[in-house]
Structure 1
Amino acid sequence: MKVSLDPSEKAQSQAMSPGSIKGPRPMALHLSNALSIWREAPAGAERLLAGNGVWHPDVNGDMTALTECLADLDNHPRFLKAVEERANNRAENFLNGINRYLQNTYTRPESDAQPCLKVGSCELFDFGGDGQPILLVPSLVNPHYVLDLMPGRSVAQYLRRQGYRPFLVKWFDPGEEELTFGLSDFILKRAKPMLEYICKLAGRACPVLGYCMGGTLMTGLAARAGDLVSSLALVAAPWDFASEVPHAGRRYAHVMAELLDRLPEGMPVPTDMMQVFFTSVDPTLSDRKFRRFAELDGNSEEAQFFVALETWANTGAPLARNAAEECIRAWYLNNEPGRGVWHVGGKPVNLADIRCPVWIAAPKKDRLVPQDSAFAMAKYLPNATTHDPGAGHVGMMVGSRAEAGLWAPLVGWLKNQEAACAA
């Protein structure tokens, strides 16, 4: 099979052009994944005709039906040629999508949030307003602004419109001290002072929203500093890493552990190494995304949203080595949170110690954090509510249905907790 667009000549040259956007990262991995799919398609078609193919269990039924349709086909060469042409078109569409993305001159819109506190190299941003302060905590791995992506796609701005005063934690870029941190350090030496700051402004304990890994970290904080947390909202926060529906990333955690062992001592984990881990969850995702992007009107809201989200996903900073070790070994491999032996501040995190109301939102469709993993903590919490936002891991936070599926239910729950406290 021949693909007329050479990634080394086209995609990589555009990656070096002024004003271009880096990504998808690492570029070589995404190119090789997608192109290998379509270069192998004709060979797959030959195996299908010969009756000796081995297929993924999810498509066995489709392949059986296709085999039956082809049983009476007397022109195998024509069929194979059609498969090759279609595969070639898809490969070219993928490369076209990559190039359209690289050529885009997207610049993230300025946010209304103002920096109000710096602890080490981490910052706290204040969205203003006179309402109840609420702390928003993202994952350590990707930039904070997924919670304030762009106009109309910002849970922080939505909370402000609903009468809250959001404060958003920005972990990046880690400084010399943060690069020595374990997870307890990020929780107690960075997030806790920020929460203390907004509680002082409010004159009382405040609600906390943690997204993904940020939610798991804030569960640890609520167990250690419960007097600061009035209510805890967790969105796709992994807890049981041995859930019945397995974590996709757990399949490759042992590989990540081996790679960590091979890094020079003390070296932080490079951004691209973390991106490889996330790509392992669904190696075909980039192919599907960029082929679809290639067909969009570049000026449409949908295309601009794609570029904004993809830019966020491909922006990163090194992850502190000790924190990475803890995530891979203590969480993914040893399931310490799920077993009740994950330590924060020198003591295991006991969910029964969290006395405030907890809202756990986790979608059934999440490929990164299984719903079973996030919901697992509900049975051990004294006061927990679960909610399915009905979207994917990122889509539920910034997608077109985020307001109906996640933001509005979140605000409804928060206001119910306020009313209960006032009663």
Structure 2
Amino acid sequence: MLRSETAASPERTVAALAGLKAYQEAERGPARRPAPIAAEVGRAKLLDYGGDGPAVIFVPSLINPPTILDLAENNSLLCWLSAQGVHPYLVDWGAPTADEAKMTIGDHVEGLLLPLIDALGEPAHLVGYCLGGTMAAAAAMLRPPLSLVTIAAPWHFDGFPDDARGGLKQLWESSEPAARDLGALPMEVLQTGFWKLDPARTVSKFEMFGRLDPKSDKARAFVALEDWANDGPPLSYGAGRELVEDLFCGNATGCGQWTVGGRIIDPALLPCPVLDIISSTDRIVPEATAARAGKVITLSQGHVGMVVGRRGRTALWEPLAQWLSQVQHRS
């Protein structure tokens, strides 16, 4: 990818490699201490961020760690919300075990997410980010929450560009035999697919990083975000197969064929208030993939920038806090 993107500019190749080396060698501060555990079901945990007000369960994607919602001391959506009259909880999916190779995305909802919701023992909002929003919609159908909020959540998978879907299919076909033998799909395979969604940006961001003062706030923020993006446990083989074959290639959700817990999941039929937050500039989960159920808010931030970018607080955090407070008052 680096060769193809910088073939006409050898100096860009050198700059990108220098930036990559600088990132690899950058100093890391101490890891953030995880929040207390409010409930635990198998490998999955529900982390308690405290606060007064209605409970809000945040459902992250199975891809990458859940820490994007609590990235740094001065950049944490969950910590900020805990001071805004709501009580956030965060699902940590953990890493799949050897005996969970067949566990699908729907199985994660039915076997882990629903029991965590039940264990909380009080009415709660559900907020799902990325694939976590797709999963939260299924949970909301089976356990109606105070409200459902989906953030950059794919539903109509045929809204992804054809080349992206085709590339992921080819990647899966080449890696599927090894994934079947392992019982898991390594994060590195998925990361390759994400890089191919926007290869120009993947290269240019390391060129940019190589020019930064390594002790600057911007450099530290870059390292924290890239560490998150390059981390995460593997998907169980069943979840990887379902993600690629049924959702990306088959568009089972968009076609009304995705079944969880014996029910077809349809966001338009959810028995609770729904807010769908999407972005017109999201290259990871394009606007065309959104379910557009309930009330829709359209942002102009990127997939990750809407959560941790410098404009995230006014664009996403504040409208989200307002929604959660208003819906609670109407309930």
Fold in common (TM above 0.5): yes
Deviations 1:359-386 (A, max 9, x none): 1111100011111211x342xxxxx111
Query: Are 2:331 and 1:416 aligned?
Result: no
Question: TM-score if structure 1 supplies the norm length?
Answer: 0.74
Q: Which moved more, 1:283-292 or 1:132-141?
A: 283-292
Letter in 1 for 2:2: A
Q: 1:106 aligns with which of 28, 33, 48?
A: 28
Contact 1:155 1:407 in 2 (8 A): yes
Number of the residue aligned with 2:52 = 130
Alignment-mate amino acid for residue 387 of structure 1: I
Cα distance, 1:94 vs. partner? 1.1
AA in 2 matched with 1:212: C
CA contact (8 A) 2:16 2:203 kept: yes
Query: What is the CA distance between 1:216 and its match in structure 2?
Result: 0.1
Distance in 2 (alpha carbons) for counterparts of 1:276 and 1:158 = 32
The residue that corresponds to 1:34 in the other structure is: 2
Match of 1:394 among 268, 290, 304: 304
Alpha-carbon distance between aligned partners in 1 of 2:5 and 2:101, rounded to the nearest angstrom: 38
- Structure 2 residue corresponding to 1:206, chosen from 109, 114, 124: 124
Q: Which amino acid aligns with 2:185?
A: V
Distance 2:152 2:259 in 1: 21
Residue 370 (structure 1) aligns with = 286
* Corresponding residue number in structure 2 for 1:223: 141
Where do 1:54-203 residues align within 5 Å?
87-107=9-29, 109-111=31-33, 113-198=35-120, 200=121, 202=122
Q: What is the rounded CA distance, in whole Å, between the counterparts of 2:27 and 2:184 in structure 1?
A: 31
Number of positions where the alignment pairs a residue of Structure 1 with one of Structure 2: 330
Q: Secondary structure at the match of 2:183?
A: coil
- For residues 83-118 of structure 1, the C-alpha deviation after alignment (integer angstroms, 9 at most, x for no partner) is xxxx23322211211111111121354246112322
Tell which structure's C-alpha radius of gyration is larger: 1
Q: Does 310-319 or 348-357 show the bigger shift?
A: 348-357
Residues 59-103 of structure 1 show CA distances to partners (whole Å, capped at 9, x for unaligned) of: xxxxxxxxxxxxxxxxxxxxxxxxxxxx23322211211111111
The one of the two structures with greater contact order (alpha-carbon pairs below 8 A, sep at least 6) is 2
Pair 1:247–1:120, CA change in 2 (3 A): farther
Query: 2:135 aligns to what SS in structure 1?
Result: helix
Match of 1:81 in 2: none
What whole-Å deviation, never above 9, does each CA across 1:332-360 have from its counterpart, x for those lacking one?
11111001111111332133431101111
CA distance in 1, matches of 2:108, 2:18: 41
- Aligned-residue identity in percent: 33
Alignment of 1:11-30 (within 5 A): none
Is contact 1:247–1:369 with CA below 8 Å preserved after alignment? no
| Equivalent residues of 2:126, 2:140 under 8 A apart | no
CA displacement, residues 302-332 of structure 1 (integer Å, 9 cap, x when unaligned): 1110000000001121110111111111111
1:266 Cα deviation from its structure 2 partner = 5.7
SS at match of 2:313: helix
- d(CA) in 2 for partners of 1:34, 1:352: 42
Q: How does 1:319-334 map to 2 (within 5 A)?
A: 319-334=235-250
TM-score by length of 2: 0.94
Structure 2 unaligned residues grouped into runs of 5+? none
Matched AA of 1:113:
A
Find 2:166's aligned residue among 235, 251, 255: 251
Q: Report the equivalent of 1:350.
A: 266
- Counterpart for residue 274 of structure 1: 190
| Structure-2 separation of matches of 1:105 and 1:266 | 33
Contact 2:63/2:235, CA 8 A, preserved across alignment: yes
- Indicate the RMSD between aligned Cα atoms, in angstroms: 1.8
Find the residue that maps to 1:142 and give its secondary structure. Answer: coil
Corresponding letter in the other structure for 2:13? A
**1:173-197, Cα deviation, whole Å (9 max, x unpaired):** 2223444311121001111111112
Q: Take 2:30 and 2:273, find their aligned partners in 1: how far apart are those partners?
A: 35
Is the CA contact (8 Å cut-off) linking 1:248 and 1:367 kept in structure 2?
no
Question: Are 2:85 and 2:325, in contact at CA under 8 Å, matched by a contact in 1?
Answer: no
**Contact (CA 8 Å) 1:138, 1:212: kept in 2 or not?**
yes
Q: Aligned in 2, Cα 1:343/1:112: closer, same or farther, shift over 3 Å? A: closer
Q: Structure 1 residues 171, 224: closer, same or farther in 2, change over 3 A?
A: same
The answer to whether the 8 A contact 1:122-1:171 is kept is yes
Farther-moved stretch of structure 1 (126-135 vs 187-196) = 126-135
What is the deviation of 1:217?
0.4
Q: How many angstroms does 1:146 deviate by?
A: 0.5
Letter in 2 for 1:386: V
Q: Which deviates more from structure 2 when the two are superposed, residues 89-98 or residues 385-394?
A: 89-98
State the one-letter code of the partner of 1:209.
Answer: V
Match of 1:7 in 2: none
* Closer/same/farther in 2, CA of residues 35 and 252 from structure 1, 3 Å limit: closer
Alpha-carbon shift at residue 414 of structure 1 (Å): 1.4
1:292 is aligned to 2:202: no
1:11 corresponding residue in structure 2: none
